A and B are shown apart, each in its own frame.
Chain A
């Protein structure tokens, strides 16, 4: 069926196709990208019987509305929002997060304005089947490639649905429901000490850890700016351009810290005052303009132990699907 798939009715301010990104091309300046809250995408995929890296639809702040042009099963994850399903028969009803929803041709699903957090995900059983570019179906907005035509979705766009499902859909279960319900409530983000604290000055670092910061509206997939830091730093505070990483907290001379997001420029020259721990990277994707943020320092080894624990917990609450194809290998070019 040439028009089978998901049609966009209302796109919202920034809705893009994302999977888990393309981390192997940073050496040519291509950001790893992928879902800003990768954990939410993974959960949505696992509940549908998809591989973790099946492509889904990422929505920002104001949700979106879609129509199914074929029968499909979808899941909704990410931050809190009200959603409803309107059947082609005319019935409508609340659509809950997590549990798979059976949709029929002509049905619509609407994700309303997010009430907390910043991003919502719609996953579809089989995955969104746009052509991969550089090993991924994620949208690279900087390079205008990947995802759906390298751009945010617009009304009328039709996304193809793939056939790559490896297990039947399943319910979320009480443990996952409970963990998910609480995951966006805390304002604490755990960080390790940055490599340039000596150059920036210990007082500035301690000040950053002690204040309640506010997420700026001048934030996006490339980075989240933090207001109220009130830290002064050397006016000529630039370093030799070096590789950057997701979660690095840069301190530009203007003094407003930036947490690097999934689409961050691969290199940069601003000093790094702290680094968000791996286990909290997905929280960066849920930082909502106006929300409070407190940075909590943990040691490197503790950060690694937390990552292991969180991986283990997710594995228990939401086991991965056994896939017949091999897991994504690191790209070498």
Chain B
């Protein structure tokens, strides 16, 4: 691969590109799992999508799918007129042009959460593990500001960073066969919200009445990559009044 001169990004900060399959290119961002790295991924994702919309000059470049995650971007190409070096060049050029999004305008989304015992089935274990009373655990969980690192695993599922370190706890040894839709879960330092009744291995500490994903809505996912999120405790009665999904 010939050296590419980066206008804005020094060589050492450039993401590493690797073909993980015949038509799938993986861009890894060094720096670990943290807010700064997820911002780089988000900016890179925006830059790739802008290149898709504009079209690349001098060769046809057909991207089939782009999947951001904590510290990476996976790009799958269509097979027609595919040329791997052209794809690498396009991706490197797009990433070099990536501009940091104006972050102060990132929207803050409030997610109502009922931490009632009926919903917060793992709260006693999580609080005990943290050495906190359940009330104090809920306070700490709800006063933190989180950030959507990316959406993945199932439609609309947000991977959130920002869990206070003292609340971190491993996932369950074995997943439950069914987790209620809207369940708020913890696994390691991650927080997430299950959009549907799926099997799940995260520790459940509450439930939101909101529909986290609705294919009929535009946009269908309630949360977007880069959103700032705060959990707002609500009562069981308030939950019953506003619940959007079936139990």
Report A's interface with B, CB cutoff 8 A.
23-24, 26-32, 133-134, 140, 142-146, 150, 192, 194-195, 240-245, 247-248, 265-268, 272, 275, 277-278, 300, 303-304, 307-308, 311, 330, 332-333
Contacts and interface: CB of A to CB of B under 8 A. Distances in A.
A309 to B, nearest CB: 11
Interface in B40-86: 45, 49, 52-53, 62-74, 76, 78-80, 82, 84
Contacts of B62: 330
Contacts of A267: 67, 69, 150, 152-153, 159
Nearest to A306: B22
A145 B71 contact: no
Which 8 pairs across A and B sit closest by C-beta, in order of nearness? A243-B74, A267-B152, A243-B67, A145-B215, A275-B21, A303-B22, A143-B155, A26-B67
B33 A278 contact: no
Contacts of B76: 23, 245
B63 A28 contact: no
Given A27-B67, A265-B152, A240 B21 contact: no
B189 to A, nearest CB: 12
Nearest to B198: A142
Contact of B155 (A23, A29, A243, A275): A29
A114 B156 CA distance: 36
Contacts of A275: 20-22, 24
A106 to B, nearest CB: 35
A332 B78 CA distance: 14
B221 A142 contact: no
A140 B155 contact: yes
A245 B53 CA distance: 22
A157 to B, nearest CB: 19
B155 A277 contact: no
Contacts of B231: none
Contact of B215 (A133, A192, A303): A133
A32 B65 CA distance: 8
A330 B215 CA distance: 19
Contacts of A145: 215-216
A204 B114 CA distance: 46
A142 B157 CA distance: 12
Nearest to B149: A241
Given A142-B198, A143-B154, A27 B79 contact: no
A28 B220 CA distance: 9
Contacts of B82: 304, 307
A24 B155 CA distance: 13
B219 interface: yes
Nearest to B84: A304
B26 interface: yes
Nearest to A310: B79
Given A241-B152, A266-B152, 18 more contacts: A24-B64, A27-B67, A27-B68, A27-B225, A29-B155, A145-B215, A195-B18, A195-B26, A242-B72, A243-B67, A243-B72, A245-B74, A247-B21, A268-B153, A277-B22, A304-B23, A330-B65, A333-B219
Contact of B45 (A27, A195, A241): A27
B119 interface: no
B6 interface: no
Nearest to B215: A145
Contacts of A272: 20
B213 interface: yes
A267 B152 CA distance: 5
Given A142-B154, A192-B22, A272-B20, A330 B198 contact: no
Given A140-B155, A240-B71, A27 B66 contact: yes
A26 B213 CA distance: 14
B213 A143 contact: yes
A245 B24 contact: yes
A243 B70 CA distance: 9
Nearest to A272: B20
